[in-house]
Structure 1
Amino acid sequence: MAAATSRRDFLKVTASAAGLLLAYRAAPAAQAQEVATLSAYVRIGPDGLVTIMAKHPDMGQGVATSLPMLIAEELDVAWENVRVEQAPADAELYGNQRSGGSRTIAMNWDDLRRVGAVGRATLIQAAAVGWRCAPHECSTLPGRVVHDASGRSASYAALAPLCAALTAIPMDSVTLKAAKDYRIVGKSMTQLATPAIVTGKPLFGIDVVRPGMLYAVYEKAPVFRARVASADLDAVKAVKGVHDAFIIEGGDEPDGLVSGVAIVADSWWRANQARSKLNVRWADHAGSDQSTAGFARAAAALNQGPPHETLRQDGDVSMAWTKATKTVEAAYDYPFLAHAPLEPMNCTADYRDGRIELWAPTRNPGGVREGVAKTLGLPLKDVTVNVVRSGGAFGRRAQVDVYVEAAAISKRVNAPVKLLWTREDDIRHDFYRPAGFHFLKGGVDADGRVVAWQDHFVTFGDAKQAASSAGLAPTEFPARFVPNCRIVSSRIPLNAPTGPWRAPGSNALAFVMQAFIDELAHAADKDPLDFRMQLLGDAAVVGDGANAYDAGRMRGVLSAVAEMSHWRNRGSQGKRTGLGVAFHYSHAGYFAEVVKVRVDDDGRVRPLQVWVAGDVGSTIINPSGADSQVVGSVIDGFSAALHQKITIENGATVESNFTDYPLLRIGDAPPVEVRFVKTDNPPTGLGEPALPPAIPALVNAVFAATGVRIRSLPIDTALLRA
């Protein structure tokens, strides 16, 4: 078996074999005015417009703008002459196309700049051949190659068709621009889809229309994994406009095709209305005895016994308690959360003649392609996935359930079908951010230093491992920064599916760790920000490789946010008003945040101002997009902290819509000031790392305003009434 090929090697090999990643296309003289395909990423038209393929799906995080900016910068074209198209799912051409984990920029920072640089070098080579000069005698201005000595120049549009006959330029042979020479990268650019979004033009998966398309809904059991026992299909088929109704047996894994009833009609409204006629009966399932209240009881019981697993053991925690001048014990918990994207889950599928084509708003196009092929028993080559812009989701669109459902329904009726979930479907059949329980104890010495830390983390999973996104890394801060540290874990069985929510794991863990650190700061009678600085210590980097924690970078953002918020001069903020601080490292980003809140006499929490300092490396590719990601992260965090929870009763989700699972409204959203601390590190992503500190900074501000500790989310306003 051949050795695995790295993505960089893939780029090199393909470039040398086929010409800049995938074949230059010859342009005969008769076609000289046609668009010239420079590479799989770049097409240049006779009018000088440059089309750049957006390799990764865009869920609103802006990668369909920021990634083409990297190519355009090194290609040296004017941004106003760039057009962007979404690349189809094609691992052979584009490699890993999955968006997520705030890794998209880090994965592509070097390679996509080289794609642009190779394109520019190839255009220079084409000009040099024609002018009978050496390539190094030429340079570029946006969209043109210039012969420096003679002043001759030629447009990219004229040169692009000539590139097909040239020998491919190796990816690693090109020289990339210095940051000081950037014309595009580092400049604020409006997301290219914004005009279509604000004018309501068809753009998202929910907007897709195909000739002869039918519409479908899919009814699944309230209790996850339960199967259909019976349904009144004849009554549904009798409804006007209904094309068909049928039971799909499916399997037991939520991230796939599970049992349900499909209704297909000539309009989505008719299909959805026909659901009321189903009279479906579901088979009994063991998961129906699970509940949120039962989980809390189980967690409390597990905390009284020996843990299932020891995650970390440093020093002698038992001895350390005797040396601590003060100890604090507290129990923290947080609920399940749904993604609740503004665009509910949907997919359009067209099965015919043993092949299927999908229009999928997904962040995981390769996974969709593989999942559909497996479900329908098709070879991968017979599955085409067109990636459509997603209306949000941060993690939810990594799963393939809705896409394989649409594919199976289309195959059954042998027609193009759009499957669209209702809001209720979306919230009640999610892959939830897992709930969790932490039983904590900490000790500080006479100098206010943390000398002992203990956490019994009760989460969800089976005997072998935690459920998806329900784990706790043994390196989670403040591990490695406290000499005596014991972290143990126990697990509760769970039937409901879980998965990554925005900033997986960190979205909940930062709340617990940073809020309890605040409790220890108060016990030590220390300024909360100074206490954190002391806890970080003087070390530069703790650990190495993927587990490295750069304390110096964290001190940098903590200092920056202290300056931004005038923390040192905060004094009295007024009646029931206070400031809270928190920091967190996740998804390769270092963030510190300060929140100012006022708590009304009725207990309502009003965020007034947020300051955010972040370190995501040396370069902010699109500053306006970066600011938007930070602001959105803060608002998502506040929505969760103030309003959101998913409750399980009798094995099923109780909440169903924005009436009982609300988002933060615009009138309640505070101003957010953002500052990026640039350091000599490669740039990393921004979709997630700004969210985790927002929640603990908020609850720490609530304590500063009221003296009440928030140890359970969402915040119970009854606890805060004057």
Structure 2
Amino acid sequence: MTLELTGTSRRGFIQASASAAGLLLAFQIAPKAGAAEAGVKPLNAYVRVAPDGMVTIMAKNPEIGQGVKTSLPMLIAEELDVPWENVRIEQADSDPKLYGRQFAGGSMATPLHWEELRRVGAVARAMLIEAAALAWNCPAGECSTDRGMVIHASTKRRASYGSLAGQCAGVAVPDARSVAVKDPKDYRIIGKATPQYDTARIVTGQPLFGIDVRRPGMLYATYEKAPVFGAKVASADVAAAKAVKGVKDAFVVEGGENLSGLLPGVAVVGDSWWAARKGRDKLAVKWAAHPTSAQSSAGFAKRAGELSAGAPQKVIRKDGDADQALKGAAKTVKAAYAYPFLAHVAMEPMNCTAEFGKDGKLEIWAPTQNPESGRQLVAQTLGLKPDDITIHMTRCGGGFGRRLSNDYMVEAAWIARAAKAPVKLVWTREDDIKHDFYRPAGFHFLEAGLDAQGNVVAWKNHFVTFGEAPDKPASSAGMGPNEFPGRFVKDCQVGVSTMPLGVPTGPLRAPGSNALAFVHQSMIDELAHAAGQDPVAFQLKLLGDQKLVGEGPSAFNAERMRGVLKAVAEMSGWGKTKLPARTGMGVACYFSHLGYFAEVVRARVDAAGKVKPEKVWVAVDVGHQIVNPSGAMNQVQGAAIDGLSHALFQKVTIENGAVAQNNFYDYPVLRMADAPPVEVKFLKTAYPPTGLGEPALPPALPALCNAIFAATGVRIRELPVDARLLRT
């Protein structure tokens, strides 16, 4: 095994030094000037052991509600062999020179850190054992550990980690690859349901989030941007804004054309956020004309239809001859599917606090999923050195991919420099919905063929999306060539056409998959019904008896998918329950972000067309170990409910180049009273553990839509679900 950790070159692993405070365990990277504590080397510290035995573990990644502030330290604590009640967790600042990449996205925290952070703990434990062995003049191999103690069984000597911490300075650091890690049967922390570390502070309202930050002398800011993305300020009544009580300043920001950066707008700064908000109301901004104002959702749909009538601009998959196979099919099914733009609507709106020191260096407090890209954006836009920017990562009140972009960070920094004071920028909910990086809309024109036995013999998809060209799609608007049932149908063709877009797009929870699963799994359900076959049996037959299809990152494990399909059918009593009228069950499965998921939704549709999801069953295969079962359960349940919300309610409409929606009244989310129970089963399989915050979402949408069809006979081919189609 090659173990490569954060840093440069071969990235030397654990180092240690002693101080009066105890043991400091860290990754040794390039020296950094100005160690704050005498005797402490400038290290990237993950573990500190205090004389009283309390262990502080640094959480390197942003916490956005996915639980990594708890689960990643659990990996270290397990191998360190310290009682969890003796662990304290601190959020690390953003420091790529010490920690490497620090980000939250792609459900990658577990796969990237499963091996690495366990070995951080194992090396620390080995060093403490060696310190005890040196003190006791015995071989280290005769010593063991138990709950924060080093033990020499034959002499019955015991020493606490706290008492040994100061003796580790002279201990040689073992090669991380050579240290033993625990057998899973000996786990005491990993695999045990563990409350999220910050829960008590959250429910008692203690400051944790970006929106809670306060700085001495801090002012508050709002920022008005054009409804049409990137339009410049033609005029603004800044004098009227400044006349509002409590407003300290108001000024036009020229901005640029990069939709991911500092866009043109007008800033208003006040001694309270409300004063700044009232000042903003007086601006009467007029915006310059912009070419994106010619774009609209209706226009996109019209253009997609026109493009679908011709050949795809690019064929990204061609196996056999799909056209010929369709001609020879016993039955064909043709369908057009579409899905809208979506906003992220994290509960905490975008915000950031920025403060310049007298030395011209900048400090930022931000709820960001991707702090380093924010640092680079701010440095480039404001002409600063990246090393002169410190980013303190606060807890995020949700993200779902929105906080991978840092436009709000560069806005706060720009305003703070102009205001010559610490500034906290807070967006309104309307800002949040109207200035997002949206999940792209998309259009799929499909045709598939069945033989006389109901086998899929042809599959054809013309995908119309956004971008400069098929090989240059807009952010999160592309599709790979291996989407299932690609590689499982002998005669298969997938083509792509694109159209220009002036609306910013970006990843939303389970990017790409959150829309593509709806299309592909709904179409497969259509084929099952056209073949007169049970949808679960049809999927299993389509998967065949193969194990692994393809190689490398795109490999698809059909055996694992069959496993979750069979499990969810058993969990839900699929095909064994007689359901009331206008109640149906739908099934879907999907592979994304390294996870295999199958879901069944039971839903009832009333006479007015309102859909009520009654229950969801989810079968999960994310490998051989769930780090924190309670956090994992929360993630799967939340993702499934999030998917139902997408399917039932959510839609961003572009009109004259701007977003038509404003707030939760016209961009609703699923409320607690309507959220169904979600039953989850984790299948432990012999594969490395992977993340699960995202892959539980995609199957929820088609499973719900397939349930609606089972209940009403109406096929949902466009999202969100239109109740008018379902009325009796």
Bin for the TM-score computed over the shorter chain:
over 0.9
How many angstroms apart in 1 are the aligned matches of 2:431 and 2:626?
Answer: 38
Match of 1:15? 13
How many angstroms apart in 1 are the aligned matches of 2:16 and 2:197?
Answer: 30
The correspondence of residues 77-96 of structure 1 with structure 2, limited to 5 A, is 77-96=82-101
Q: Is the 8 A contact 2:16 2:168 kept in 1?
A: no
Letter of the aligned partner of 1:296 in structure 2? A
Go from structure 1 to structure 2 and tell me whether the alpha carbon gap of 1:36 and 1:8 turns closer, same or farther (over 3 Å shift). closer
Match of 2:614? 608
Superposed CA deviations along residues 396-419 of structure 1, whole A, max 9, x for unmatched, are 000110001111111111211100
Match of 1:512? 519
How many angstroms apart in 1 are the aligned matches of 2:232 and 2:11?
Answer: 49
The correspondence of residues 150-299 of structure 1 with structure 2, limited to 5 A, is 150-299=155-304
How many angstroms apart in 2 are the aligned matches of 1:9 and 1:122?
Answer: 22
- The runs of at least 4 aligned residues of structure 1 exceeding 4 Å deviation read 8-12, 16-20, 34-39
1:331 lines up with 2:336 in the alignment:
yes
Instruction: Give 5+ residue unaligned stretches, structure 1.
Output: 26-30
Superposed CA deviations along residues 380-403 of structure 1, whole A, max 9, x for unmatched, are 210000000000021000011000
Shift in Å, 1:376? 1.5
TM-score by length of 2: 0.95
Shift in Å, 1:7? 3.3
1:557 lines up with 2:564 in the alignment:
yes
Match of 2:351? 346
Letter of the aligned partner of 1:77 in structure 2? V
Superposed CA deviations along residues 418-447 of structure 1, whole A, max 9, x for unmatched, are 000000000000000000000010111111
Shift in Å, 1:18? 6.9
How many angstroms apart in 1 are the aligned matches of 2:668 and 2:140?
Answer: 60
Match of 1:633? 639
Shift in Å, 1:255? 1.0
How many angstroms apart in 2 are the aligned matches of 1:682 and 1:366?
Answer: 28
Letter of the aligned partner of 1:377 in structure 2? G
User: Residue 462 of structure 2: SS of its match in structure 1?
Assistant: strand
Q: Please, which moves more after superposition, 401-410 or 43-52?
A: 43-52
How many angstroms apart in 2 are the aligned matches of 1:568 and 1:239?
Answer: 66
The correspondence of residues 347-366 of structure 1 with structure 2, limited to 5 A, is 347-352=352-357, 353-366=359-372
Match of 2:475? 468
Go from structure 1 to structure 2 and tell me whether the alpha carbon gap of 1:539 and 1:103 turns closer, same or farther (over 3 Å shift). same
Shift in Å, 1:134? 1.2
Shift in Å, 1:236? 0.9
Superposed CA deviations along residues 527-546 of structure 1, whole A, max 9, x for unmatched, are 00000000001110000101
The count of corresponding residues between Structure 1 and Structure 2 is 711
How many angstroms apart in 1 are the aligned matches of 2:472 and 2:376?
Answer: 25
Among candidates 130, 133, 158, match of residue 128 of structure 1: 133
Shift in Å, 1:160? 1.0
Q: Please, which moves more after superposition, 458-467 or 675-684?
A: 458-467
Superposed CA deviations along residues 125-149 of structure 1, whole A, max 9, x for unmatched, are 1111111111111100111111121
Shift in Å, 1:39? 6.6
Shift in Å, 1:674? 0.1
How many angstroms apart in 2 are the aligned matches of 1:79 and 1:36?
Answer: 27
Letter of the aligned partner of 2:391 in structure 1? V
1:643 lines up with 2:641 in the alignment:
no
How many angstroms apart in 1 are the aligned matches of 2:627 and 2:331?
Answer: 47
Q: Is the 8 A contact 1:35 1:44 kept in 2?
A: no
How many angstroms apart in 1 are the aligned matches of 2:337 and 2:14?
Answer: 56
1:418 lines up with 2:424 in the alignment:
yes
User: Residue 402 of structure 1: SS of its match in structure 2?
Assistant: helix
Letter of the aligned partner of 1:249 in structure 2? E
User: Residue 374 of structure 1: SS of its match in structure 2?
Assistant: helix
1:702 lines up with 2:700 in the alignment:
no
How many angstroms apart in 2 are the aligned matches of 1:100 and 1:142?
Answer: 33
Q: Is the 8 A contact 1:35 1:43 kept in 2?
A: no
Among candidates 541, 544, 548, match of residue 534 of structure 1: 541
Letter of the aligned partner of 1:15 in structure 2? F
Match of 1:440? 446
How many angstroms apart in 2 are the aligned matches of 1:110 and 1:179?
Answer: 13
1:40 lines up with 2:45 in the alignment:
yes
How many angstroms apart in 2 are the aligned matches of 1:6 and 1:64?
Answer: 22
Q: Is the 8 A contact 2:5 2:11 kept in 1?
A: no
Shift in Å, 1:591? 0.2
Match of 2:75? 70
Letter of the aligned partner of 1:433 in structure 2? R
Shift in Å, 1:17? 7.0
Superposed CA RMSD in Å reads 1.8
User: Residue 40 of structure 1: SS of its match in structure 2?
Assistant: strand
Shift in Å, 1:77? 0.5
Instruction: Give 5+ residue unaligned stretches, structure 2.
Output: 18-24, 32-36
Shift in Å, 1:6? 5.1
Letter of the aligned partner of 1:190 in structure 2? P
Match of 1:28? none
Go from structure 1 to structure 2 and tell me whether the alpha carbon gap of 1:534 and 1:23 turns closer, same or farther (over 3 Å shift). closer
User: Residue 567 of structure 1: SS of its match in structure 2?
Assistant: coil
TM-score by length of 1: 0.96
How many angstroms apart in 1 are the aligned matches of 2:328 and 2:248?
Answer: 75
Letter of the aligned partner of 1:193 in structure 2? D
User: Residue 411 of structure 1: SS of its match in structure 2?
Assistant: helix
Shift in Å, 1:465? 1.2
Superposed CA deviations along residues 503-532 of structure 1, whole A, max 9, x for unmatched, are 000000000000000000011000000000
Shift in Å, 1:9? 7.7
Q: Is the 8 A contact 1:246 1:261 kept in 2?
A: yes
How many angstroms apart in 1 are the aligned matches of 2:171 and 2:378?
Answer: 40
How many angstroms apart in 1 are the aligned matches of 2:257 and 2:79?
Answer: 49
Letter of the aligned partner of 1:716 in structure 2? D
Q: Is the 8 A contact 1:35 1:46 kept in 2?
A: no
Match of 2:22? none
1:383 lines up with 2:389 in the alignment:
yes
1:578 lines up with 2:584 in the alignment:
yes
